[in-house]
Amino acid sequence: MGGKLSDKDMDQLEQWIGTGPKTFTLLYAITRDGCNATTFHQNCDNQGATVTVLYNPQGSVYGGYAPVSWISSGAWTNNTAAFLYQLRFNGNDKATKFAIRNGQQSNACYNHSSYGPVFGSGNALCTFSSTINSSGTYFSLNGNMDGFGTTFDNQGITAHQINNGNMNVTELEVYKVADGKRIPTQQKPWRKTKTWNEKFLDELTEDIVTFKPLEDLKVKDARILMIGPVGAGKSSFYNTINSIFRGRITQRAGSGSAEQSLTTAYTPYKVKVKFGATLNFRLCDTRGLEESQGLDVMECNYLLDGNIPNYYQFNPAKPINPKSQGFKANPSPDDMTTCAVFVLDATTLEVLSTKLIEKMKSFQTLMNQKGVPQIILLTKIDTLCKDVQADVSSTYKSHTVEQHVDKAAQLLGLPRANVLPVRNYENELELDDNVNILALISLRQILYLAEDFMENMLEKRNDEETEMENLKLEN
Ligand SMILES: Nc1nc2c(ncn2[C@@H]2O[C@H](COP(=O)(O)OP(=O)(O)O)[C@@H](O)[C@H]2O)c(=O)[nH]1
Ligand SMILES: [Mg+2]
């Protein structure tokens, strides 16, 4: 396997051949096997129908279809089904089939042990003879297309309009063509993970259940602060995580599509596992990020430092200040935010207002000053991509999701690795392993960053204490 021919190209060739679904197996490639007639015949003789494909440095792709086996006898193939074709010219799609002319079928292909693939009398397409050495980035084939149009119907197109007037190629491939249904080539994931199965789900669950903030820091629960526009899916993310650990769909955080933010209080939700234990982090729901009336920079600052009491009811008309009731003037490490999560709806990235983006950036400035790690949770990827909607396990293979991850990373100037796509539960009655895996991959990453932050905090505190000691000693 592993040829250059794309699925789309195979579809086109299959259509031109016209006798049903076909599989394509790479028999010969000059960059892999060397360019010489002997190897070509060793690999391709007696293999049945084949297609020869030439790729040139100008981005043109063309070749010929041989309906019966290549042989080394010096004989001509007599067959009406042979054809030449072009797929691309100068990098642009240009799909044309050049069928054999009436009465020319006895000159379809020329089989000779010292020649590579040859089509048509007088060289409609003669690829090469003997051995051709690579000239670095390409092979300068010694064939030609001088007789193009004699055996095959050229439809007014010249050889120049197919091979750019030269026989240089970056690759020449010969595929065996057989009846059968192709399995589309598996797309390479743009982000690698372990295989998605029950074992991986168990491993993620275990990592999260055993997560514990550093003992020395006296932090009981790591606070994860969720920030984002109304309707982005903050409450839904908490519900999704809580559902996973409860083993059933839960809806503790009210979610919906109200114009104004449904969530108006600072709610540091905890997550309970099915039988009793509580996990050592809190997912903190805040109110939305509307341009006016939404969470502002001062409030964000207080949230990061841990000044705002649990369940504090935000009041846009009366912003919180150090004199407000419950304001924690001396927050403990347990109150501090250890990781900030920007929750963004993947489908609205393009239409986020500049004001909103600026607001998030001003929050980031604060976070950077305090060293608080930042993550983007990209929600609703199911409505972005049909493949993901059908099967969440294709998230890291979806090109559409990848593009939106890139876009989100650029938006807030974060590394791509800090953008985590998720698909929240929104309309389900039953849990789904793949939805769980995707959500837990994200949550685990968030907890890792929170852990890094706490380690930094501890180191800083220890260093400060040592310095104080040293100062005392000096005096
Ligand atoms: N299809 C889909 N809908 C979602 C997803 N996440 C949230 N929603 C829906 O988006 C709406 C707003 O979600 P919500 O959690 O209330 O947003 P919040 O304002 O940020 O708390 C709700 O109707 C959710 O059901 C998701 O991943 N996929
Ligand atoms: Mg909410």
Q: Where among 147, 179, 211 does a domain terminate?
A: 179
Strand order in the sheet with 337-345: 267-272, 278-285, 222-227, 337-345, 374-379, 419-421
Q: Where among 127, 146, 179 does a domain terminate?
A: 179
Confidence of residue 380 (pLDDT cuts 50, 70, 90): very high
Q: Could you give the number of structural domains in the chain?
A: 2
Asked if 7 and 32 touch (Cβ cutoff 8 Å), the reply is no
Q: Do 300 and 252 fall within a single domain?
A: yes
Confidence of residue 12 (pLDDT cuts 50, 70, 90): very high
Ligand 1 pocket, CB under 6 A: 228, 230-236, 255-257, 262-263, 288, 343, 379-380, 382-383, 423-424, 426
pLDDT digits (tens, 9 = 90+) for 285-333: 988 887 677 888 999 999 999 999 999 988 878 888 999 889 999 999 8
Name the packing angle between helices 198-209 and 234-246 (round to 10°). Answer: 100
Residue 221: how many other CB atoms lie within 10 Å: 19
Index of the ligand 1 atom closest to the CA of residue 236: 15
Distances (CA, A) of 362 to 70, 114, 266, 296: 69, 71, 20, 9
Q: Do 362 and 243 fall within a single domain?
A: yes
Ligand 1 mean position to 437 CA, how many Å?
Answer: 18
Q: Do 244 and 328 fall within a single domain?
A: yes
Question: Which of 465 and 78 is assigned the larger pLDDT?
Answer: 78
Q: What is the CA radius of gyration of the chain?
A: 32
C-alpha–C-alpha distance, residues 305 and 89, integer Å:
61
Ligand 2 mean position to 446 CA, how many Å?
Answer: 19
Q: Do 204 and 167 fall within a single domain?
A: no
> For residue 340, what are the contacts with CB-CB under 8 A and spacing of at least 6?
224, 225, 227, 304, 363, 367, 372, 373, 374, 375
pLDDT digits (tens, 9 = 90+) for 15-29: 999 999 999 999 999
In a domain, 191, yes or no: no
In a domain, 184, yes or no: no
Distances (CA, A) of 14 to 8, 23, 83, 119, 179: 10, 9, 12, 19, 10
Structure tokens at 372: 């608080």
Bridge partners of 144, per DSSP, are: 126
In a domain, 378, yes or no: yes
In a domain, 186, yes or no: no
Atom 28 in ligand 1: which residue has the minimum CA distance?
380
Q: In which region does residue 462 sit, left (phi positive, over 0), alpha (psi from -120 to 50) or beta (all else)?
A: alpha
Atom 22 in ligand 1: which residue has the minimum CA distance?
256
Structure tokens at 227: 């920030």
C-alpha–C-alpha distance, residues 252 and 56, integer Å:
61
Region 381-394 average pLDDT: 90
Atom 19 in ligand 1: which residue has the minimum CA distance?
231
In a domain, 396, yes or no: yes
C-alpha–C-alpha distance, residues 128 and 116, integer Å:
5
Q: Is the pLDDT of residue 469 over 70?
A: yes
Q: Do 42 and 15 fall within a single domain?
A: yes
In a domain, 185, yes or no: no
Distances (CA, A) of 234 to 13, 65, 271, 305, 426: 49, 56, 15, 21, 12
Specify the residue for token string 């009846």.
179
- Residue 282 sits in a domain whose CATH number is 3.40.50.300
Q: Do 32 and 150 fall within a single domain?
A: yes
Q: Do 229 and 81 fall within a single domain?
A: no
Q: Do 173 and 264 fall within a single domain?
A: no
Name the packing angle between helices 433-474 and 234-246 (round to 10°). Answer: 100
Atom 23 in ligand 1: which residue has the minimum CA distance?
256
User: Domain of 146?
Assistant: 7-179
- As a whole-number percent, the residues of the chain with pLDDT over 70 amount to 97
pLDDT at res. 183:
73
- As a whole-number percent, the residues of the chain with pLDDT over 90 amount to 75
In a domain, 439, yes or no: yes
Q: In which region does residue 240 sit, left (phi positive, over 0), alpha (psi from -120 to 50) or beta (all else)?
A: alpha
Region 467-475 average pLDDT: 82
Q: Do 202 and 171 fall within a single domain?
A: no
Residue 114: how many other CB atoms lie within 10 Å: 14
Atom 2 in ligand 1: which residue has the minimum CA distance?
380
pLDDT at res. 263:
62
**DSSP code for 334:** G
Confidence of residue 275 (pLDDT cuts 50, 70, 90): confident
Q: Where among 179, 209, 229 does a domain terminate?
A: 179
pLDDT digits (tens, 9 = 90+) for 226-248: 999 988 999 999 999 999 999 98
In a domain, 126, yes or no: yes
- What is the chain's percent helix, strand, coil content, to nearest 5? 35, 25, 40
Q: Do 207 and 171 fall within a single domain?
A: no
Q: How far is CA 332 from the centre of its chain?
A: 40
Q: Do 315 and 427 fall within a single domain?
A: yes
pLDDT digits (tens, 9 = 90+) for 347-373: 999 889 999 999 999 999 999 999 999
- As a whole number, the mean pLDDT across the chain is 92
> For residue 403, what are the contacts with CB-CB under 8 A and spacing of at least 6?
none
**Alpha helices of 312-432 — where are they, by DSSP H?**
354-370, 386-390, 399-412
CA dihedral 192, 198, 204, 207 (to 10 degrees): -140
Ligand 2 mean position to 302 CA, how many Å?
Answer: 20
Region 66-95 average pLDDT: 95
C-alpha–C-alpha distance, residues 199 and 201, integer Å:
5
C-alpha–C-alpha distance, residues 233 and 425, integer Å:
10
Q: Do 207 and 155 fall within a single domain?
A: no
